[in-house]
Amino acid sequence: MSLTDSEIKTLLEEKNETPNLDYKQEIIWEKSNREACLEIIKDILAMANTRNGGRIIFGVTDNDFEFMGVGEEAWKQFDVTPVNELLHRYADPIFTCSVIKRVIEDKKVVVIDVPEFNEVPILCKESAFAGQNNKEVLRKGALYVRTAKCSSEAISSVEDMRSILGRGLTKKSDELFQSIQKLITGKPLVPDKDANNHYQAEIKQAHEYLDKVVKEDLGYWKIISYPSTYESRLTTQAEAGQAIEEAKVLLRGWDFPHIDTHGNTTNFNKGKQSFLKWERHEEGWQLYQSGLLVWKKYFWEDIEGQRNQKENRPLLSFVGVIYSVTEYMLFFKRLYAEKLNVESIRVQIELGKCNNRQLASFESMAHIWEYISGEDKIMIEKDINVVELQASFQDVAKDIIKNIFMLFNWNDPADSMIEGWQKKLTERGGI
């Protein structure tokens, strides 16, 4: 799965480096530039060991992160084959990254897209020396990670080693859950009426916040999710923020839920909240200490003015629906199973302004018939055993996706089709 021009533009506009996003000016990928190439390999190894992987974007100035583009020579020399040939020499186990070359606003940009490790962390299997002083750029046996200061360093603490090994064990546990999925039934879900009353007060408060942040003049996604029983699970606002940070999903160049880095992520009386307003892009969320999440975001199709020109219908990408719902379920798995350790959750997914909206394909090799919704609001509500998410969040997502498609009058979407797109999405994240 390749990043779209729109996703790359969003990353360029972020202008803030994170452990998952690194900006570089440019590099000529050739043997005479060995030291610089090896430094990039170290960054790739580190991002592979970082939750959600990462992206390295070339063509951005060092100090103010302005997009200047790369020169013609750098553009020609960059290619997926030589980058991965050098990476394979030092990565154990061997894995592959993507090299994406695009022209954005008449300027050339190169993006290295790095997936998170699949089952076991990636070690450096051979030392490498370069430069006038023949310094050691890569160290045999080192396990590199991205730090909070956005540098690539070898793990040096027991705590960091435990953390990355814990992620590896979680991935192995997921395989075990999948292998015995048919034997898992979980406890029957019995809605807690008292819990619902407590959550409704918090949901009302969240709506008041989000209605100021994300207006409803465009089509939108909205999510409400919460544990089936009510209690304070996150003792402080800081803990709520940490839970979001550690559970967020970053498979398409944009995090879900998006954590703003320009001063709009703040504490409130019952948890953590964040919003983004950039041009027409509006998104916001609140996570309560009870585990309640309320999130809202405009359809990107409406932000970019995508319409059926002949019938003047608004559009919604059917692949985007598959990707989005799959991301939501992966986030719920991370938040509610791995962080909050709850047994079951209630999920509501709403798609607004869908009347006369048509499912569409923006993929060159994917074509569908005209499927059009007659509903203004599409609402999917589901009680989910968390063990189901651990066993296969993709299958939970698939059922919801099919329900959404049904309300666009697509009555028979093939399971294999949905699973194929899910695989394209999750494989880049090493899931």
pLDDT per residue over 310-349, tens digit each? 999 999 999 999 999 999 999 999 999 999 999 999 999 9
Specify the number of domains making up the chain. Answer: 2
For residue 163, tell me if it sits in a domain.
no
Q: Among the three residues 157, 181, 208, which one is the final residue of a domain in this structure?
A: 157
Are residues 299 and 207 located together in one domain of the fold?
A: yes
For residue 9, tell me if it sits in a domain.
yes
**Around 15, how many Cα atoms within 13 Å sit in the side-chain half-sphere?**
10
Give the single-character DSSP code of 271: E
Where does 211-270 show beta strands of DSSP type E?
A: 220-227, 265-268
Are residues 113 and 262 located together in one domain of the fold?
A: no
Are residues 25 and 71 located together in one domain of the fold?
A: yes
Q: Taking 80 as the threshold, does the pLDDT of residue 129 lie above it?
A: yes
Are residues 149 and 220 located together in one domain of the fold?
A: no
Are residues 264 and 404 located together in one domain of the fold?
A: yes
Q: Taking 50 as the threshold, does the pLDDT of residue 59 lie above it?
A: yes
For residue 175, tell me if it sits in a domain.
no
Are residues 280 and 347 located together in one domain of the fold?
A: yes
User: Quick check: 277 and 213 in contact, CB under 8 A?
Assistant: yes
Which of 292-296, 385-389, 425-429 shows the lowest mean pLDDT across its residues?
Answer: 425-429
Longest dimension (CA), the chain: 71
Are residues 264 and 204 located together in one domain of the fold?
A: yes
Mean pLDDT of 233-239: 94
Are residues 357 and 408 located together in one domain of the fold?
A: yes
Where does 291-377 show beta strands of DSSP type E?
A: 293-298, 307-308, 313-317, 344-352, 358-360, 371-372
For residue 31, tell me if it sits in a domain.
yes
pLDDT at 184: 47
For residue 186, tell me if it sits in a domain.
no
pLDDT at 178: 53
Range of the domain at 85: 5-157
**Around 262, how many Cα atoms within 13 Å sit in the side-chain half-sphere?**
9
> For residue 43, what is the domain's CATH number?
3.30.950.30
For residue 187, tell me if it sits in a domain.
no
Are residues 141 and 206 located together in one domain of the fold?
A: no
CA 84/CA 94 separation, integer angstroms: 10
Q: What is the mean pLDDT of the chain?
A: 89
Q: How confident is the model at residue 182 (pLDDT cuts 50, 70, 90)?
A: very low
CA 371/CA 103 separation, integer angstroms: 33
Q: Taking 60 as the threshold, does the pLDDT of residue 191 lie above it?
A: no
Are residues 142 and 11 located together in one domain of the fold?
A: yes
Q: How confident is the model at residue 1 (pLDDT cuts 50, 70, 90)?
A: low
For residue 420, tell me if it sits in a domain.
yes
Which of 181-185, 257-261, 344-348, 404-408 shows the lowest mean pLDDT across its residues?
Answer: 181-185
**What single-letter amino acid sits at 156?**
S
Mean pLDDT of 283-304: 95
Total-model pTM = 0.69
Q: Taking 90 as the threshold, does the pLDDT of residue 280 lie above it?
A: no
Are residues 45 and 101 located together in one domain of the fold?
A: yes
CA 389/CA 19 separation, integer angstroms: 27
For residue 171, tell me if it sits in a domain.
no
Q: How confident is the model at residue 366 (pLDDT cuts 50, 70, 90)?
A: confident
- Residue 181: burial class (beta carbons within 10 Å; 0-12, 13-18, 19+): middle
CA 121/CA 144 separation, integer angstroms: 9
Are residues 11 and 61 located together in one domain of the fold?
A: yes
Q: Among the three residues 157, 184, 210, which one is the final residue of a domain in this structure?
A: 157
